A and B are shown apart, each in its own frame.
Chain A
Amino acid sequence: MISKASVYDQVLGLHAYRSRMNVAVMVILVACLLLLVRFVWLQVFQYEHYHTLAEANRIAIAPVVPTRGLILDRSGQALANNYSAYTLEITPGRVEDLDGTIDALSKIIDIAPRDRKRFRKLFDESHNFESLPLRNRLSETEVARFAVNRYRFPGVEIRARLFRNYPQGTTASHVIGYIGRINDSDLDRLDDDGLLANYRGSDHLGKVGVEQSYERELHGLTGSEQVETDAGGRAVHSLAKTEPVSGNDLVLSIDLNLQQIAEKAFGNRRGALVAIDPNTGEILAFVSQPGYDPNLFVDGIDQANWDALNQSPDKPLTDRALRGLYPPGSTIKPFMAMAGLFYHKRTPESLTSDPGYFAFPGSAHHYRDWQPKGHGVVDMHRSIVQSCDTYYYSLANDLGIDNMHEFLSRFGFGERTGIDLEGELPGVLPSREWKRARFHQDWFSGETVISGIGQGYNLMTPAQLAAAAATLANGGTLFRPHLVRAIRESRSGQTRDVRPEVLRKADLATADLDVVRAAMADVMRPGGTGAQAYAGAPYAMAGKTGTAQVVTIKQNEKYVESRVKERNRDHAWFIGFAPVDAPRIALAVLVENGGHGGSAAAPIARQVTDYWLLGKRPAAPPPAEPATTAPAPGAAPAAADDEEEGSD
Chain B
Amino acid sequence: MRYLAPTTLDDAIQLLSGDPGDCRVLAGGTDLLVRLRSGDAEPDSILDIKRIEDLRQITKEDGGWLIGAAVSSAEMNEHAELKAAYPGVCEAADLIGSTQIQGRCTLAGNLCNASPAADSVPAMVAVRAVARVAGPNGTRDVAVEDIPTGPGKTSLEKGEFVASIFLPAKPDRSGDAYLRFIPRTEMDIAVVGCGLSLTLDNDGTCTDARVALGAVGPKVMLVDAAAEALIGTKLDDAAMQALSKACSDAATPIADKRGTVEFRTHVAGVLARRAAAIAKTRAEG
Pairing of A with B: no
Residues of A bordering B, CB below 8 Å: none
